[in-house]
Amino acid sequence: MGRREERLRQTEGSRRWKNGLADRGGGPDRRASRRAMLVALGISGVFFVVEGVAGYLTNSLALLADAGHVLTDLGALLLALMAFWAAARPPSDARTYGYHRLEVLAALANGLAVWGVAAYIGLEGYRRLLAPPQVMAVPMLAVAIAGLAGNVAAALVLRPSAQCSLNARGAFVHVTTDAVQSVGVVLAGALMVAFGWYLADPIISLLTAILIAYSGSRVAYAAVHILLEGTPSHVNPSALMRRMEAVPQVQMVHDLHTWTITSGYHAMSAHVVVGSEATHDDEQLVLARLRDVAAREFGITHATIQLEHPGLLCQEAHAPASTEQRPS
């Protein structure tokens, strides 16, 4: 295969990879995610009303807490849908990456909302632990079982979308932790029906609060990591640098940076030194190979690479220690 044919193959391969992963607004995965969220929104809306009314009438904190968590589910789903809509808007001169980060901000808001719910449940559970009130256990148990079924249905609808979007994952975490909470509510109802042990209501609520706080922390941490432009979890910068330096005619790579624009959309920038004898065609082939390596082997769909010649290196003043200039 000639040099020109190989260059075309590399360029086309990178383009196909990028088009497959970086269709941020209207791709089939995004449309499926929006449909799933609309269905889950309907399910959660119905059970929020049912559990809220039933929790008030039966005097069950566990059921009210479950309704409160469903309310955060509704907020998470609405924020996710808004973020999907915003991410579909095209880039502009003022926002050259478009509105992708709104997804991340919405995911962070979801995580913080979970902490708020956990704090309320914890405080109210502690108060009721000191003085357990009586609960209408039989109707509370019936509603809790129905709520569990609704949460499981919503989680199953959202599960496929959680693999391709941080924001969808945030909504999925809300719904799945709510399903786990519903198991606790069912258990508390069963204990009260069988033994009249009303202390089960605040105990289950306190345990659920801990679980909710932990789950929300994971989503919030992932969002903050992206906002701080941390390295994508699947990318090893040292391995990426070594792989790029293994490309023919590349002498050295320095000032390498990798970050995430939004979930599934990763970027990098790097300065690459090539031999002074390299022609224009050689340089274009090197660029095609480097972008192909970044896309196919490291899932980086947006690569900005600056080629340099020995003696004309452009070294950044604050390059990370792991990407300092190294001898070839």
Domain 232-323 -> CATH class: alpha beta
Chain-centre distance for alpha carbon 144? 29
Return the CATH fold of 23-227: Alpha-lytic protease prodomain-like (1.20.1510)
Q: Are the C-beta atoms of 291 and 303 separated by less than 8 Å?
A: yes
Q: Which residues contact 105 (CB under 8 A, 6 or more apart)?
A: 83, 223, 227
In this prediction, residue 312 carries a pLDDT of 64
Q: Which of 311, 307, 294 is nearest to 254 (CA)?
A: 307
83-106 burial, b if ≥16 CB within 10 A, otherwise e?
Answer: bbebbbeeeeeeeeebbbbbbbbb
- Answer whether 23-227 and 232-323 agree in fold: no
Walk along the chain (328 residues) and give the pLDDT tens digit of each residue: 455 555 445 444 444 444 443 444 444 466 777 788 888 889 989 989 999 899 889 988 888 888 877 887 787 788 778 777 776 778 778 887 778 787 788 878 878 887 888 888 888 888 888 888 888 989 999 999 998 999 899 888 888 877 766 667 777 877 887 888 788 889 889 999 998 898 998 888 888 788 778 877 887 888 899 999 999 989 999 999 999 999 999 999 999 999 998 877 899 999 999 988 888 888 999 999 999 999 999 999 899 999 998 866 565 544 444 444 444 3
The Cα 6–Cα 25 span in angstroms is 32
Domain map (residue ranges) of the chain: 23-227, 232-323
Q: Which of 74, 69, 67, 83 is nearest to 43 (CA)?
A: 74
The Cα 51–Cα 41 span in angstroms is 15
Q: Which residues contact 123 (CB under 8 A, 6 or more apart)?
A: none
